[in-house]
Amino acid sequence: MKLKKIDLIVEGRGFDIVLCGKKWRICRATGFPKYAMVDLKKRIIYLKPDLTELQLLECLNHEVFHICFPNAFERHVLRFDRNIVKLLWTCGYRRVRLE
């Protein structure tokens, strides 16, 4: 399968986070078709800038779970993602700061 070349337009510098002992960068970008995209070689998580607060929380949580548990099945990732996001949202965690 041939992959298409993606022209990413990164907005801002983003921020760094340590996941499983490795430094990752999280930043906003456009130019890809889905809500989020992960570059495993460069260790960057790209998120679309037009996401709502709930979508941003869901996408970031979903990608972080994939990074921390690479062998997990998608159905387990989705179940975990829904439960954690529901818990955070209920507790009043409404904003993901990407500065």
How far apart CA 85 and CA 29 sit, in angstroms, is: 22
Joined together, the tokens standing for residue 6 give: 């993606």
Which helix (H) or strand (E) covers residue 15, if one does?
strand 9-19
44-59 pLDDT per residue, tens = 899 988 888 888 889 9
pLDDT surpasses 80 at 41: yes
Domain boundaries, the chain: 9-90
Sheet harboring 36-39: ordered strands across? 9-19, 22-30, 44-47, 36-39
pTM of the model: 0.80
